[in-house]
Amino acid sequence: MAEEKKAQSSGVWPKVKPFVNGGASGMLATCVIQPIDMIKVRIQLGQGSAGTVTRNMLKEEGVRAFYKGLSAGLLRQATYTTARLGSFKILTNKAIEANDGKPLPLYQKALCGLTAGAIGATVGSPADLALIRMQADATLPVAQRRNYTNAFHALYRIVADEGVLALWKGAGPTVVRAMALNMGMLASYDQSVEFFKDNLGLGEAATVVGASTISGFFAAACSLPFDYVKTQIQKMQPDASGKYPYTGSLDCAMKTLKAGGPFKFYTGFPVYCVRIAPHVMMTWIFLNQIQKAEKKIGL
């Protein structure tokens, strides 16, 4: 029995397990959050408040509009969240080993979160680009719509029309945004779990829900300005002369700041926070449940 456990711990599964669990939990959370994400994107594209956007979508496009881009969203989680949560687990485990098994200080967790976010965003950037374009397509004039049918069709068309490197268009702001989000999300979650368990003595369920709520808030607050710039870069179209409105993310940030001030970057923050926090909460809750199920069956 001891030899069997040793073989299990040294096999392939323990190495891929954090990645599989991370991707699965992210995909399950996305299935629930997709409608809120659609509303958030439409608000950022200037279509009005949450209530106005919701009414217009229901009236003009029907309920299915809220799930437009779901295939790209799932593909994004299968790449981005698989990479970031798996990387974070491995990085923190290595750091704990180097720290003689003691809990990591907050700054080390933040560094692990930044690194994991960069890795995940680099892997997931093509799917993220497809998702943004599919969600924004209905807001464009009919002549400018790309009419992607699903995520894989979007990726194929992007490569065919614009070249392979176009899959990473806007990857710079995507990576920066992911680093900010994951620093806020991952570091605050681990720190909150330790606080709720060690200082407040809360049970498992209360700890997961409480830590997830805090994690979601910090993820939203840290990442929304970068998310706003990323969305503007990824959905921009050239004018009649072939010139794009922004030359890059810095140009977009400076023009946005000049036109609307710093609060312009927090356009749609309540909806963004409502979207990010539940997604974060459900990702952690699903991950917790997956880990419990695996433990129960001996994986």
Tally DSSP H helices, then E strands, for the chain: 12, 0
pLDDT at residue 9, rounded to an integer = 56
- Structural contact between residues 297 and 35, judged by C-beta atoms closer than 8 angstroms: no
pLDDT in tens, 119-147: 999 998 888 888 788 877 777 787 788 88
114: pLDDT strictly greater than 90 = yes
The pLDDT tens digits of the residues spanning 54-102 come to 998 898 888 888 887 788 788 889 999 999 999 999 999 999 999 888 8
For residue 263, give Cα distances in angstroms to 152, 178, 257, 260.
36, 20, 8, 7
Tokens, residue 183: 């620093």
Predicted confidence (pLDDT) at residue 2 exceeds the cutoff of 50: no
User: Which amino acid belongs to residue 207?
Assistant: T
pLDDT at 108 (0 to 100): 93
Q: Quick one: CA dihedral 189, 192, 198, 202, positive or negative?
A: negative
Mean pLDDT of the chain: 86
Q: What is the pLDDT of residue 60?
A: 86
- Compute φ and ψ for 257, nearest 5 degrees: -65, -40
- Whose CA is closest to 33, among 76, 79, 75, 66? 66
Q: How far is CA 276 from the centre of its chain?
A: 8
